[in-house]
Structure 1
Amino acid sequence: MSSLSILRPDLLTIGNRSYRINPSSLPGLESTNTQQHQVYREEEEADYYTNNFDDGNNDDDDDEPSCKPQQQRSTKESEAKTQTVHKEQPPVEDDDTIDFLAKENMYVCEMDIASAFYGVLIGKNAENKHKLESETNAQIVFPRRDEIGTVKIRSRTKANVQSARTRIEIIIDRSRQMQPFTHFLSIPICQSSSSINLKQKYEEFKKSVLEQCSDERGITNELFQQVNKLHLTIGTLVLLSKSEINYIKETLQECTKTLLKTIMLTDKERFIVQLKGLEFMNDDPGFVDVLYAKVQLVDQTNSNRLQNFLDRLNEELVNTGLMKQKFDRIKLHVTLMNSLLRKDDTGILEAQKTTRGRVKNQERESFDAKKVLRLFGQFDFGQIELNELHLSIMHEPDRQTGYYGCETKILLKPIN
């Protein structure tokens, strides 16, 4: 190890604590399987899903105070995926989440953990569980198969309980990165009464492209997104229990309330956007997988309000540990054509994502968009007011609205 790496070691932050990263390996992640899920196909994900986890690496400040509720610890994964905390004891500090049972002379902590993570924590023949208990000098008790409850950590010292809890949090964080997405944060485009004109413009665009560009390679009706599903994607999440869903819902409520108060200063302010112009995801217009409409905020005073709002919200959700950050800034766009839609016109795919983002038995067929861009590159879809922010469910479409199922909705209007 170089002197520089000793002076500036990698750090792992959990809650308000930071730990030095030492070489080690987490137990049993390579052999863990998950159940298959139906997954919303996010257009920015290049490849999709298989049944088993893959060995190998995942390729994948603001001065304002945090606005999320302080109810759940979060972990930030180190860039070194094959390293974790080892032989590091967290400081013994006041911690009201750890109780002392005087009669048993024992410290006890309860963790609300989604049952999807029990397998990786226990391991084959309970090997992972025994290793954790041995290395932390703590007892870890899981609910029985037919029970719903918390995971309990017990030890004679508070430091041992804290150490075991930290190790469990790290394992869960790494395992979560390899789970398929279950929810996504979205802003519907065509779910309000003011969207009639935009719907008509989109149908006009679709008809014109099919009439004038159908002779181009790969241009078919199946490429186009359903008009009722048009949306802005803010981020994707892995939520595996009711408590995780409720935590994100509460975080969204608190954060949006705080942010909207600072961004929308008067009752008349709204997020009104214009969809005009086309762009594509890759660098070759002859081999395109995703074609989208550019989004511009109609606001002469401060054209960055929407961007700032979404970036701040994204930052807070990433800090929960339940949403993975892909980019520093949200890319404002509305997907119009997607090659993944050839195989599933609902935009939902039953499959799973590998740790490397590779696809097995699910190959995309690109399309030639050169003529579409030449003829319709400046197409104006019109203006629309963004009314709601949805925590959308990836595998449950709403049959009444034609949009995606929803856990919660938040109005994007000034807060009095």
Structure 2
Amino acid sequence: MSRHFPDFFTTRGPIPVTVKPLKFGNRTYYQTTLALDEESHSTPHLKPYMDNDDEMLDCADMEENYEIVLTKSGKFSTSFHVPSSLLPFIIGAKGSKLKTLQRNTNTTIKIPRMNEKGEVTIIGDTERKVASARTQISLIVTQRKDRLRPTHFISIPLTSDLIKTNLLKFQDEVLKNPPRGVTDKHFQNPVKMHLTVVVLKILDEEELILAKKTLQNCYDEVIANILPKSTKHIVTVKGLEIMNDDPSNVNVLYGKITSENDNLMDQLNKMSDAIVTYFCKAGLAKREYEKVKFHMTVMNSSFLEDRKATFDATDILREYGDYYFGTSELERIDLCIRGTTKTDSGEIKYYDIALNITL
């Protein structure tokens, strides 16, 4: 039977709930949600948007829906995939963490052996106990993933030759009299130009399959209705902005994205929000920002060995604040693999793509 469980279903006392009937075809399902107090209804404070090529997004609705089944033995059970590299953090030294989890939730938790394919299975006397154990394991997995660097990202490539040409011209102009901290290594390579939607942490083949399925489902169910294939989606890259308030100490300088089509930017915002939501619910992304800020990264300190180094963009913004890079048609959405921008011979190229969907 399918149930909706809150992320932190661990309290022992009574929990007020609201049951909502949901109709699908001729059948009615019941979704159970927590009846929270007024203070809990307030929107959590979200961080101002930063360049998100290297940061995860934080999502409160992760693991929102899953199935708990009643077995023939009268027990309740749920099964789910956990990357094998994270299983040791559930098991703990000599199985200590796993034993504690089982004792605290009064469940039996079966973990695949090392190098053995399979799912984590939780068995308990009640749905509540099973849900509690699953939530605690999900928290362990999330906390460990938070320490890892992103492996993939969803992006829209900018393929315009004009933008590539003007980016190189901009670089040449700035480097004629470079401000403090600016080197040629700060500039994005023209062949890698793209708009980042969300970054992901994918740890094995199972999660990659899930990511592909998630993007395809999002396109079929939402994006196809927002951005019809019968229309060209053209954006303009003009003007420069920074991610922080102090132009003398900058990590990221980016080109602003606009469109002559008044509806397109709104459509892109709806598309990006849908993608982030889908990947959050799949457990592959986290939401820290209210919305994605579409931008074309022009300069970034993360391209350097010292990723935290800043540069002075004061003069750049004053002289090139309205710089025109060009227009580009948005032709596809890519699921890109980070760190794959060099050929075998060492030449720079666009990222390897695990999946692309034509817009």
Q: TM-score interval w.r.t. the shorter chain?
A: 0.7 to 0.9
State how many pairs are aligned. 316
5 Å-filtered alignment, 1:23-62, equals: 44=51
Secondary structure of 1:283 counterpart = coil
Contact 1:101 1:108 survives alignment (8 Å)? no
Q: 1:3: which partner in 2?
A: none
Q: 2:350: which partner in 1?
A: 403
**1:385 to 1:135, Cα distance in 2 relative to 1, 3 A:** same
1:320 aligns with 2:282: yes
Identity of paired residues, percent?
30
Q: 2:239: which partner in 1?
A: 277
Distance in 1, Cα, partners of 2:100 & 2:255 = 52
Q: 2:220: which partner in 1?
A: 257
Q: 2:46: which partner in 1?
A: none
Q: 1:168: which partner in 2?
A: 137
Q: 1:139: which partner in 2?
A: 108
Deviations 1:70-89 (A, max 9, x none): xxx9437xxxxxxxxxxxxx
Which of 206, 209, 231 is matched with 1:246 structurally? Answer: 209
Contact 1:184 1:391 survives alignment (8 Å)? yes
Structure 2 unaligned regions, length at least 5: 1-5, 10-29, 37-48
Deviations 1:247-293 (A, max 9, x none): 221121121123333223571x1221000000111111111111110
**1:384 to 1:112, Cα distance in 2 relative to 1, 3 A:** same
Secondary structure of 1:149 counterpart = coil
Distance in 2, Cα, partners of 1:153 & 1:230 = 45
**1:132 to 1:207, Cα distance in 2 relative to 1, 3 A:** same
Deviations 1:355-394 (A, max 9, x none): xxxxxxx552211112211221111111100111111112
Q: 2:171: which partner in 1?
A: 206
Distance in 2, Cα, partners of 1:374 & 1:334 = 19
Superposed CA RMSD in Å reads 3.2
Contact 2:84 2:114 survives alignment (8 Å)? no
Q: Which amino acid aligns with 1:237?
A: L
User: Relative contact order (C-alpha < 8 Å, sep 6+): which is higher?
Assistant: 1
5 Å-filtered alignment, 1:219-238, equals: 219-238=182-201
Normalised TM-score (structure 1): 0.67
5 Å-filtered alignment, 1:82-121, equals: 97-98=68-69, 100-102=71-73, 108-121=77-90
Q: Which amino acid aligns with 1:260?
A: I
Distance in 2, Cα, partners of 1:386 & 1:332 = 12
Report the CA distance between 1:200 and its aligned residue.
1.1
Secondary structure of 2:7 counterpart = strand
Distance in 2, Cα, partners of 1:187 & 1:374 = 29
Contact 1:237 1:323 survives alignment (8 Å)? yes
Contact 1:123 1:129 survives alignment (8 Å)? yes
Report the CA distance between 1:403 and its aligned residue.
1.2
Normalised TM-score (structure 2): 0.77
Secondary structure of 2:248 counterpart = coil
Q: 1:126: which partner in 2?
A: 95
1:309 aligns with 2:271: yes
Q: Which moved more, 1:283-292 or 1:401-410?
A: 401-410
